[in-house]
Amino acid sequence: MATRLLVFGAGSQARYVLESARHIASLEVIGLVDVCDNPSLWGEAIGGVPVLGNVESALDQVPPGPDLRVVTAIGDRAAKRGLVQTLEARGYHFTSVIHPRACIASTAEIGAGCIINGGATVETEARIGDHCIIHSGAVIEHDGELDRFVNVGPGATTGGRVRLGSGVILYAGAVVLPDCTVHDDAVVGAGAVVLRDVPAGTTVVGVPARPL
């Protein structure tokens, strides 16, 4: 029997989830949830899946249950953190949605509520925290550690033993060299190359990466 999946989000991240779920026989997506309060979406279908309404409406329609799992398919860090807190408080359980064409090492650990797209690679002994998004072509090398709510853009690469703190964003093509730490809520711009640790809350860009 398939597990029912409720996807919180109705934008591009949600479409990634739908694409992955089509290849996962154990998941049945029962609805999308508009997290931006856009009534024009309510009752519409995206990829054949209905948009049930906003968050409060969806919570009323689909209560927690033993065969229900949820995932938060949104990119905004603050909104995602707040939504996860709400869902945890209401008793919902999270699942990770991993495209079958993602390459996940047998010794890697993947937390709850993650989205890992096709073509992503997570190497041996890497640890991915809850509610992370790893986009297509991204590589998390051996012994890497991602805290919660990390977003790794398409083609971004972390070298061995890299640590990304909570809420870190790596934009497309960013590179973090081995043994570096990017601290909580820092942002690494597209194509930047990180040669040393990045302080919390800092945005770095360029080659080598420097504070913006």
Task: For 34-76, write each residue's pLDDT tens digit.
Answer: 999 999 999 999 999 999 999 999 999 999 999 999 999 999 9
On the question of a common fold for 3-95 and 97-199, the answer reads no
CA 76 to chain centroid, in Å, comes to 10
Give the CA distances from residue 175 to residues 38, 105, 129, 145, in Å, rounded to whole numbers and listed in that order. Answer: 36, 20, 19, 15
Query: Model's pTM, two decimal places?
Result: 0.97
142 is catalytic: yes
* 196 within 8 A of 175, measured Cβ to Cβ: no
What is the Cβ-side half-sphere exposure of residue 82, based on CA atoms within 13 angstroms? 7
pLDDT, one tens digit per residue, over 148-202 is 999 999 999 999 999 999 999 999 999 999 999 999 999 999 999 999 999 999 9
Map tokens 């790893």 to a residue. 134
Q: Given this model, what pLDDT does residue 27 score?
A: 97
Residue ranges per domain, the chain?
3-95, 97-199
The catalytic position among 99, 131, 135, 142 is 142
Task: Report the distance separating Cα 127 and Cα 130, nearest Å.
Answer: 10
CA distance 53 to 61: 9
User: CA 124 to CA 106: how far, in whole Å?
Assistant: 7
In this structure, what DSSP letter does residue 109 have? E
- Level-2 CATH architecture, domain 97-199: 3 Solenoid (2.160)
CATH topology of domain 3-95: Rossmann fold (3.40.50)
